Amino acid sequence: MFAVGTTSKNSAARTGTLTLGHGVVETPCFMTIATKGAVKTIDVPDLNAAGAEIILSNTYHLMLRPGVETLTAMGGLHAFMGWQKPILTDSGGYQVLSLASMRKVSDDGVVFRSHIDGSTHLLTPEKSQEVQQAIGSDIAMILDDLVDFPVTEQQAAAALERTLGWAKRQRMWWDANKKDSRKMFGIVQGSIFPNLRHRSAEELIKIGFDGYAHGGLSVGEPRAESYALTELVNNILPQDKPRYWMGAGQPHEIVEYVKRGCDMFDCVLPTRNARHGTLYVWKDAALLGTSSDFYELLHITNEKHVTDAAPIDATCGCFTCTHHSRAYIRHLFSVDEPLAQRLTTIHNVYFYQELMRKIREGITNGGI
């Protein structure tokens, strides 16, 4: 499934290839968020034009709408949305945190009250995998118990033990029910406590998964701690398995996690920021491996762009930058034209894919 390519002489960074049921993904990679089976404001041709090789969708939301019966009848999410490349699905574990006021967690699973109509749903570890199989995920994440920050060590330890128990149940379900070449990843938990994250990694390795993710971070903890914990865990995880850093992040953070040996990333930032007029622009790509100043943020709704004939980024090859000016895009925002969000999302998605291409080049040529 995963083959390591070039390993950096300067850091723990490495290139690689993920061979999945719906195609091959070059790593390090970034997965654009398609929570409900769509990337907000753009379509599949836009994703293909940006060079996206894998996207991320969410089990909880797809379980509610369109539901398992519809997904099964339509032949899975790939056929339903017209995307023929790999899909990774979150297990619903993030909703354990984000919908804290609408759920109850026990060793059996998570009882959710739907944010749509108030109906009650039990998401067990086995049910999470069943839904992900109906979706047709190339990579299914385990259901985990995610805790917020700050948290006590006792609370983090309790959530970790529950996550490990659920992991064993999902491994058993997977072995009995898995179809074709789909893969399942374990998720390291333990909040900011090194001893807990060490234990989590070791126990997940014993259970055995196709890849491993860094979970429970990027929830408000100091960034320096995240970096240190990432190094600690990656020194334990198998070298021949992909490592997925969940929820990262800003471009300079991704570079730092790559340097510490991570291969896969996702985040809502590029698409969410685009819809609010905040865009990523290359400043000096030569600084990619040595400084966070390789990019900057452009706020397209600022008054100074009223007559700005320049593209968002003169070095960018996306449709938006090769066809439209900053002035035009600002105008679209000022008149509440939906096209504004489409064009800015196209740009930010392209930027993040270009970021990963440049990171892979940097690992290969020794710059990272």
Q: What confidence tier does 9 reach under pLDDT thresholds 50, 70, 90?
A: very high
Residue 97 has pLDDT above 90, yes or no: no
Question: What residues act catalytically?
Answer: 90, 266
Which one, of 113, 146, 132, lies nearest residue 183 by Cα? 132
Tens of pLDDT, residue by residue over 36-74, are 999 999 999 999 999 999 999 999 999 999 999 999 999
* Lookup result for tokens 């334990």: 236
Q: What is the pLDDT of residues 245-268, one digit of tens each?
A: 999 999 999 999 999 999 999 999
93 has a pLDDT exceeding 80? no
- What percent of the chain shows pLDDT beyond 70? 99
- Does pTM surpass 0.85? yes
Give the count of beta carbons closer than 10 Å to the beta carbon of residue 335: 8
CA atoms 33, 37, 40, 44: torsion sign: positive
Per residue in 177-195, pLDDT (tens digit) is 987 899 999 999 999 999 9
pLDDT for 94:
77
What are the C-alpha distances in Å from 360 to residues 52, 136, 289? 14, 28, 11
Residue 99 has pLDDT above 80, yes or no: no
Looking at residue 39, its pLDDT comes to 98
* Model confidence at 336: pLDDT above 90: yes
Domain locations along the chain: 28-266, 275-365
28-266 homologous superfamily: Queuine tRNA-ribosyltransferase-like (3.20.20.105)
CA distance 153 to 159: 10
Average pLDDT (151-174) is: 97
Angle of the 153-177 helix axis to the 125-135 helix axis, nearest 10? 50
